[in-house]
Structure 1
Amino acid sequence: MSEAITAILPLRRWQGEKAVYHLVTFLGDEAEALAGHALMQRLEFGRSRGFGSIKVTARIGSTEWKSSVFPQDKQTEWVLLVSKKVMRAEDLAAGDECAVSVTPI
């Protein structure tokens, strides 16, 4: 099992064409660790997952769920979507800082 990647990140709101999404973005060392995991996965399986994503177990507070993180800007940023269910459970709103942990599966 992989090691958890943890950071305190702002919860951002993003308006898409069809819906509003909430997300956190991993940068710096955390993004580098995720990019390294993606590279190892690609070397092991000979291909990458859809959109270059990585399956993870995510945790904010006491809420844990399975999801994926998606690379942005040539893997220097990785995005994790946060559902309204998680936001309600952890009493979060756009702009709040939250401790986020992702463990690659």
Structure 2
Amino acid sequence: MRYRFTSEVRRWEARRDDWFFVDLPLDASAEIHEWADARPRAGFGAVKVVARVGGTSWSTSIFPGASGVYSLALAARIRRAESIEPGELIEAEVELQG
């Protein structure tokens, strides 16, 4: 399953200098929850994905939040490679693995 979406880059307030995320849409998150509930998962309810932003792709995990929406972390190397700034709207894609 593959999801392409546009989301605003946000800082994680608990660690403002280190962590940036984009949130998947609610409908995509609901489908992923249903898919993931039928499979063994990693800690924190993580789901393994291949993520893509611009010309950069990487293996990572998405994590469910309290609101039920999954979030994709954007590491510094990804942000630098794609010139991504906090508050920017970006297009991202995740493909579920496993």
**TM-score between both structures, scaled by the size of structure 1:** 0.83
Q: Secondary structure at the match of 2:86?
A: coil
Using the TM superposition, give the Cα deviation of residue 65 of structure 1 relative to its aligned residue in structure 2, in angstroms.
Answer: 0.2
**TM-score between both structures, scaled by the size of structure 2:** 0.88
State the alpha-carbon separation in 2 of the partners of residues 93 and 8 from structure 1.
14
Amino acid paired to 1:97: L
Alignment of 1:28-39 (within 5 A): 28-39=26-37
Using the TM superposition, give the Cα deviation of residue 80 of structure 1 relative to its aligned residue in structure 2, in angstroms.
Answer: 0.9
Using the TM superposition, give the Cα deviation of residue 17 of structure 1 relative to its aligned residue in structure 2, in angstroms.
Answer: 5.0
**Identity over aligned pairs, percent:** 26
Which runs of 5 or more structure 1 residues have no equivalent in the other structure?
43-47
State the alpha-carbon separation in 1 of the partners of residues 63 and 81 from structure 2.
23
Q: Specify which of 62, 67, 83 is matched with residue 75 of structure 2.
A: 83
State the alpha-carbon separation in 2 of the partners of residues 20 and 89 from structure 1.
16
Q: Specify which of 52, 55, 59 is matched with residue 48 of structure 2.
A: 55
The question of 1:22 aligning with 2:20 is answered: yes
Q: Secondary structure at the match of 1:16?
A: helix
State the alpha-carbon separation in 1 of the partners of residues 81 and 16 from structure 2.
24
* Alignment partner, residue 65 of structure 2: 72
State the alpha-carbon separation in 1 of the partners of residues 90 and 42 from structure 2.
27
Q: Secondary structure at the match of 2:5?
A: strand
Using the TM superposition, give the Cα deviation of residue 83 of structure 1 relative to its aligned residue in structure 2, in angstroms.
Answer: 0.6
Q: Secondary structure at the match of 1:41?
A: coil
* Alignment partner, residue 86 of structure 2: 94
What are the superposed Cα offsets for residues 35-81 of structure 1, whole Å, 9 maximum, x if unpaired? 12211214xxxxx321111000000011000000011126x211111
Which runs of 5 or more structure 2 residues have no equivalent in the other structure?
none
* Runs of 4+ displaced beyond 2 Å: 15-20
Using the TM superposition, give the Cα deviation of residue 27 of structure 1 relative to its aligned residue in structure 2, in angstroms.
Answer: 2.9
